[in-house]
């Protein structure tokens, strides 16, 4: 047996151990599932469906990033141009083309099987993110099998899959779930190269590494290679075996695969944009985020740690309670690999002024797996501060159970009874998960936490958000257009200019002010204008001056989910033909 096999099979050293709590040595149903890889895959697949499917078809486009991505994809389909990326007439050169191509495939597949109005169906654009989240959880499990026992690997993967952040990203038609899947796929090959027993990796493995890297670059530029490089070099420097395992990646052949994947589009977009893609994506996007907070998303260092308990729930309490073990075992090669994956980029993300919660999502699997290693050496918390950590399991559920119906009643004068009931039900497994952590039973606590997360998923994404009418301004305006007495009217909007309105109506939606809306209605053919109350005085003055008599078809009031501003929008129409 070679040295890598010895590292893989060797237990954590005696100095790193803590006494085990016998009460958590066996969770019979979990042991039965973990004993079979096919059963474990089946459970994770079903969990992914339960975690991520609720709401994927009923949630309206969530402004602003998601509909920007979806609208750019829609324009690719409308124009047949798969090279340039545009939102209306504006060049969208902040990210590469990968996610748009994946969304085009999903929408085209929907059209092929007869999905009505597929090009405006946001659920189709979300399919790549849904699949990416599923793969991210399964790849996490496969990495775990190379680092720990099957039961701990399964629980760690499920905990990662249950986190709030991956659940949100699985339902949004943007880059981050797919990006995470590419990074975790690369990490799986690295783990096999470092801790596996084979002297050489099969072609499927090393080629898969470079293919995943190429997809990651096409989806979000340098993030995938940067995170993977930190993990590889950290493991080589501090993992006890040097860099020999990196030879298994067949770098020369792999780089040819990588370049064949990414160069054609980068060359094509450089020619088509006259080089502006690189100045926009590198200069105006990436470097601008490093220099200062961009698009009102600036925050001080430590922000990700401060919100970790919320974005990483229910994983966060398990990570916090595992820190003492991780510190003692930090020189173990398996933890070196996981820490090299998570810590360098976490520090960089904390330093960069622009902060968004999803930036650290690809690092969560490393924390989940480090926690999985700690599970086999977990004891009941004894110090008072450690005893407070399990409260983080029921606390967010309690906040939601109270906050969701109260917020809904205050803003919409209604109570989402189904969502509220599910949130109250989620308190039960969350409470028992807290008790299990106090008793030193992390496996049982993790399983109960996943049940609580599943109930929250249904409550929030299936019932609360889709049923909260005040924030569904764009779908209601699009529906109002369908009710007009003319086919395919030209459209203009004032004040309310969210990307979701462009996506759900038409690409050439005119953005204007009150006077411009009146001028627009004076044009030929059937036309409709969305005039918000703040622009209505100027609008009415101008239509009087132009001797126009538009019909007020309806009024739609609600809340702009970006900023929480209350809006009252009149839908005015001219030139109706039926």
> What's the per-residue H, E or C state across 414-436?
CCCHHHHHHHHHHHHHHHHHHHH
pLDDT, position 94: 80
pLDDT, position 285: 58
Sort 19 into a burial class: Cβ within 10 Å, 0-12 / 13-18 / 19+.
exposed
**DSSP code of 530?**
E
The two structure tokens encoding residue 81: 């141009």
pLDDT, position 284: 59
| Contact call for residues 572 and 528 (beta carbons, < 8 A) | yes
pLDDT, position 282: 64
Range list of H helices, 221-286: 223-238, 251-273, 276-278
Across 218-238, b (16+ Cβ under 10 Å) vs e yields bbbbebbbebbebbbebbbee
pLDDT, position 92: 87
pLDDT, position 163: 98
The two structure tokens encoding residue 107: 């929408």
Range list of H helices, 458-535: 473-482, 499-504, 514-521
Q: Of 94, 90, 57, 64, nearest to 75 (Cα)?
A: 90
pLDDT, position 487: 85
Domain ranges of the chain: 31-113+124-375, 384-468, 472-574
User: Left (φ > 0), alpha (ψ -120 to 50) or beta: where does 14 sit?
Assistant: alpha
Across 29-49, b (16+ Cβ under 10 Å) vs e yields ebeebbeeeeebeebbeebbe
pLDDT mean by block of 10 residues, the chain; 578 residues: 38 42 61 93 97 96 94 97 94 90 98 96 98 98 96 96 98 97 98 94 97 97 96 95 94 97 94 79 58 62 93 96 94 97 97 93 98 87 87 96 94 93 98 94 94 97 94 96 91 97 97 97 95 97 95 96 91 87
Give the separation between CA 502 and CA 109, rounded to whole angstroms.
22
Reported pTM: 0.92
Kind and range of the H or E run holding 151: helix 150-162
pLDDT, position 399: 96
Give 324's Cβ-side CA count (13 Å radius).
13
Sort 305 into a burial class: Cβ within 10 Å, 0-12 / 13-18 / 19+.
exposed
Question: What is the pairing mode between strands 510-512 and 90-91?
Answer: unpaired
Give 59's Cβ-side CA count (13 Å radius).
28
């Amino acid at each position: 047996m070679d040295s890598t096999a010895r590292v893989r099979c060797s237990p954590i050293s005696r100095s790193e151990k803590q006494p085990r709590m016998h009460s958590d040595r066996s969770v019979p149903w979990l042991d039965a599932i973990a004993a079979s890889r096919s059963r474990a895959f089946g459970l994770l697949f079903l969990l992914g469906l339960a975690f991520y499917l609720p709401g994927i078809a009923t949630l309206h486009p969530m402004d602003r990033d998601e509909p920007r991505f979806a609208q750019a994809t829609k324009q690719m389909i409308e124009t047949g141009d798969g090279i340039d990326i545009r939102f209306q007439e504006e060049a969208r050169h902040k990210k590469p083309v990968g996610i748009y191509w994946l969304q085009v495939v999903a929408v085209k597949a929907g059209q092929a099987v007869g999905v009505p109005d597929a090009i405006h169906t946001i659920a189709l654009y979300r399919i790549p993110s849904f699949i990416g989240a599923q793969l991210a959880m399964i790849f996490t499990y496969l990495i775990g099998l190379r680092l720990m026992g099957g039961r701990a690997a399964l629980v760690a993967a499920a905990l990662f899959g249950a986190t709030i952040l991956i659940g949100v990203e699985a339902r949004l038609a943007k880059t981050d779930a797919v990006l995470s899947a590419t990074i975790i796929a690369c990490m799986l090959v690295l783990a096999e190269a470092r801790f596996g027993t084979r002297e050489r990796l099969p072609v499927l493995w090393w080629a898969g590494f470079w293919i995943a890297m190429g997809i990651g670059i096409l989806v979000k530029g340098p993030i995938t290679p940067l995170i993977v490089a930190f993990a590889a070099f950290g493991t080589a420097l501090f993992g006890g075996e040097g860099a020999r395992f990196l030879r298994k990646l067949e770098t020369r052949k792999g780089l040819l695969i990588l370049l064949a994947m990414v160069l054609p589009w980068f060359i094509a977009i450089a020619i088509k944009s006259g080089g502006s893609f690189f100045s926009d994506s590198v200069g105006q996007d990436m470097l601008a985020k490093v220099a200062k907070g961009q698009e009102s998303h600036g925050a001080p260092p430590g922000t990700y740690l401060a919100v970790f308990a919320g974005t990483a729930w229910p994983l966060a309490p398990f990570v916090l309670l595992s820190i003492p073990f991780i510190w003692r075992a930090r020189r173990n090669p398996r933890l070196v690999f996981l820490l090299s994956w998570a810590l360098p980029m976490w520090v960089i993300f904390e330093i960069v002024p622009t902060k968004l919660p999803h930036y650290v999502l690809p690092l969560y699997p490393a924390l989940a797996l480090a926690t999985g290693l700690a599970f086999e050496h977990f004891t009941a918390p004894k110090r008072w501060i450690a005893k407070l950590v399990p409260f983080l399991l029921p606390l967010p559920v309690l906040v939601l159970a109270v906050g969701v119906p109260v917020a809904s009643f205050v803003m919409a004068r209604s109570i989402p009874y189904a969502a509220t009931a599910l949130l109250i039900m989620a308190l039960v497994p969350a409470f028992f998960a807290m008790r299990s952590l106090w008793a030193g039973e992390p496996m049982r606590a993790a399983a109960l936490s996943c049940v609580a997360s599943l109930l929250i998923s249904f409550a929030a994404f299936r019932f609360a958000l889709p049923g909260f009418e005040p924030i569904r301004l764009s779908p209601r305006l699009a529906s109002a257009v369908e009710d007009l007495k003319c086919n395919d009217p030209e459209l203009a909007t004032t004040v309310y200019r969210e990307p979701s309105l462009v996506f759900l109506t038409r690409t050439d939606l005119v953005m204007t002010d009150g006077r411009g809306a009146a001028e627009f209605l004076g044009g030929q053919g059937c036309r409709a204008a969305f005039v918000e109350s703040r622009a209505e005085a100027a609008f009415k003055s101008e239509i009087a001056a132009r001797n126009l008599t538009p019909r007020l078809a309806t009024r739609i009031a609600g809340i702009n989910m970006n900023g929480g501003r209350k809006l009252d929008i009149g839908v005015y129409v001219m030139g109706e033909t039926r």
